[in-house]
């Protein structure tokens, strides 16, 4: 993938969590992410969860910087024995190539393959990010979306 903007990835530290928390409490972002915590505004639970993940050797978490400013996070974690990718970009940076560039850079660091990405069926921006980075759609599942309060379809993508 061609890099169109300069993104820096660095290991996430506990001091990043306050800023990263503010990105994930946006209602529109939560709606699009769909599969998130039951109470995304519970800062204490967010900090506790991510502090624990920072010390988990199976999790690779990076903070995304654009012009030295924190604009999101990206991580590889394991779910049911599979490597999964997740990312969260501050709403002010949507549609600017940040997520695609960050994921492309991250995949150069994180070599686990296959790696999977899951996305709500109507999250067109995230679908585009995965496809731009070489992921292929391999299936669908239904799951309960806390953000939407109902079961919705989720697309499953894979990068071999």
* Whether the predicted pLDDT of 1 surpasses 70: no
Question: Is residue 158 left, alpha or beta, with left meaning phi > 0 and alpha meaning psi from -120 to 50?
Answer: beta
What's the confidence (pLDDT) of residue 5? 79
Beta strand 136-145 pairing with 150-159: antiparallel
Q: Please report the DSSP string for 69-107 in residue order.
A: EEEEEEEEEEETTEEEEEEEE-GGGTTTTHHHHHHHHHH
pLDDT greater than 80 at residue 3? no
> Could you tell me the pTM of the whole model?
0.93
pLDDT, tens digit, for every residue of 35-94? 988 888 999 999 999 999 999 999 999 999 999 999 999 999 999 999 999 999 999 999
pLDDT at residue 36 in the model: 87
Per-residue pLDDT of 11-44, as tens digits, reads 999 999 999 999 989 999 999 999 988 888 999 9
Instruction: Tell whether the model's pLDDT for residue 96 goes beyond 70.
Output: yes
CATH tag for 8-112 (out of 3.40.430.10, 3.30.2010.30, 3.10.20.600, 3.40.630.30)? 3.40.630.30
Domain ranges within the chain, ordered by starting residue: 8-112
Sheet holding 60-66, edge to edge: 8-11, 60-66, 69-79, 82-89, 115-120, 150-159, 136-145
């Amino acid at each position: 993938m061609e890099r169109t903007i300069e993104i820096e990835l660095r290991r996430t530290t506990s001091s990043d969590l306050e800023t990263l928390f503010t990105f994930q409490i946006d209602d529109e972002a939560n709606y699009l992410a769909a599969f998130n915590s039951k109470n995304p505004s519970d800062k204490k639970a967010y900090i506790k969860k991510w502090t624990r993940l920072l010390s988990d050797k199976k999790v690779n978490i990076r903070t995304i910087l654009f012009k030295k400013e924190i604009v999101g996070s990206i991580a590889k974690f394991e779910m049911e024995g599979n490597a999964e990718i997740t990312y969260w970009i501050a709403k002010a940076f949507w549609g600017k190539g940040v997520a695609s560039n960050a994921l492309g850079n991250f995949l150069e660091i994180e070599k686990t393959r296959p790696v999977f990405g899951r996305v709500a069926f109507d999250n067109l921006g995230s679908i585009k990010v995965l496809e731009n980075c070489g992921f292929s759609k391999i299936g669908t599942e239904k799951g309960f979306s806390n953000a939407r309060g109902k079961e919705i379809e989720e697309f499953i993508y894979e990068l071999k």
